[in-house]
Amino acid sequence: MGRVGVLLLNLGGPEQLQDVRPFLYNLFSDPEIIRLPFAWMQKPLAWMISTLRYQKSQENYKAIGGGSPLRRITEEQAIALQGSLQEKGHDIRVYVGMRYWNPFTEEAVAKIKRDQIEELVILPLYPQFSISTSGSSFRVLEKLWEQDPSLQKVDYTVIPSWYNRPGYLQAMTELIEQEIEHCDHPEQVQIFFSAHGVPVSYVEEAGDPYRDEIEGCTAAIMQTLNRPNPHVLAYQSRVGPVEWLKPYTDEVILELAKEGVKELVVVPISFVSEHIETLEEIDMEYRELAEEAGIEKFNRVPALNTHPVFINDLAEMVIEALNAPNIKFSDVAHPGKKTKMYPQESWEWGLTTTAEVWNGRLAMLGMIGILIEIMTGQGPLHFIGLL
């Protein structure tokens, strides 16, 4: 075995308030976020959004301490994973590549080339696969590999998703158990799984397995937990004019309050690191909503971060991937479907995080709608403030 590496993939986030505006610019310069009919429109629109909205977004980051902890936590996970691999007798270097902020995926790949890595495991820190998260990063890497002959010599394999791993499930249940035991009525408390949403079209038209994997993950956690508590699954962070996966987290909170539920244990099921959507959206926005609706106790299960059982399972996953047949970017298909990783969607109006096809006759109408939402602070502006 030659030099071996692991590339951890994540979204990234602004570490300081002055990073927010360039972070937003990077985000919306990417056609995976907004697909426009003309390429020349991408950067001007990204500049407009980042200019108009960065101050509002900065307020959200001020509320959690002035910046996103995502890079720090991801690098801590990388260090812990490398240590776990060494304890298992594997001298493997771990790299971190972020999609929209430092250290960028391209920077991580440059380090991998510099270190002359010969075998590489590509591991997204998203338990469930979606074309908008893991798929988006895979596309960037696929292009890098296609353009660089030296990378084509690297024997790589991709881990598409790992939501049903026993170690991951065990770590999640341990954290849930700890939170439940602090409740007034542990056996009756409502368990509330909140996952990041995606547009319905991803699932129903593009064949994204995300919903199936989220539902399967929820069921597997409850089976591992083996408790009689009622539970519910909902989706947060919906944005824009298109329909997103339902039910929505905020609406379910209000429904539970009407039913007389007084205590919740909220589980951020699609996040393995603390960041803006756990620390601000869940801990502040949803907590306030719940309390105003009459829910007296709002308990939130912490993200896995560097939970030892979780890190150990990541290490086992890497070792297993090295000993299994390689999975290439072009080979990553949706479970139970014949659709490839980047299916071509039918035209659809709105903001997405994957490549949409815009109907030319409605392109300018779409642009007008986006600009109206930017100026009024509705729709995608909510998204901008939460990333």
What is the arithmetic mean of pLDDT over 326-349?
A: 56
Is the Cβ–Cβ distance between 319 and 7 less than 8 Å?
no
196 labeled part of a ligand binding site: yes
- Crossing angle of helices 105-114/134-147, nearest 10°? 50
- Inform me whether the pLDDT recorded for 353 exceeds 60: no
Separation CA 261–CA 253 (nearest Å): 9
- Contact in structure between 210 and 129 (CB atoms under 8 Å): yes
Pick the CATH number of 166-298 from 3.40.50.1400, 3.30.460.20, 2.30.30.30, 3.50.50.60: 3.40.50.1400
Give residue 295's pLDDT.
98
- Mean pLDDT across the stretch 374-380? 47
From the CB of residue 50, how many other CB atoms can be counted at a distance below 10 Å? 21
d(CA 126, CA 160): 9
Q: How confident is the prediction for the chain on average, in pLDDT?
A: 86
Of residues 182 and 206, the one with the higher pLDDT is 182
The answer, yes or no, to whether residue 207 has pLDDT greater than 80, is yes
Rounded Cα–Cα distance for residues 107 and 21 (Å): 21
> Could you tell me if 257 and 249 are in contact, meaning their C-beta atoms sit under 8 angstroms apart?
no
Helices 210-225, 166-180: inter-axial angle, 10-degree rounding:
60
Write out pLDDT tens, residues 356-369. Answer: 333 333 344 455 45
pTM for this one? 0.85
CATH architecture of 2-161+305-329: 3-Layer(aba) Sandwich (3.40)
Residue 277 marked as a ligand binder: yes
Q: What is the mean pLDDT of residues 255-266?
A: 98
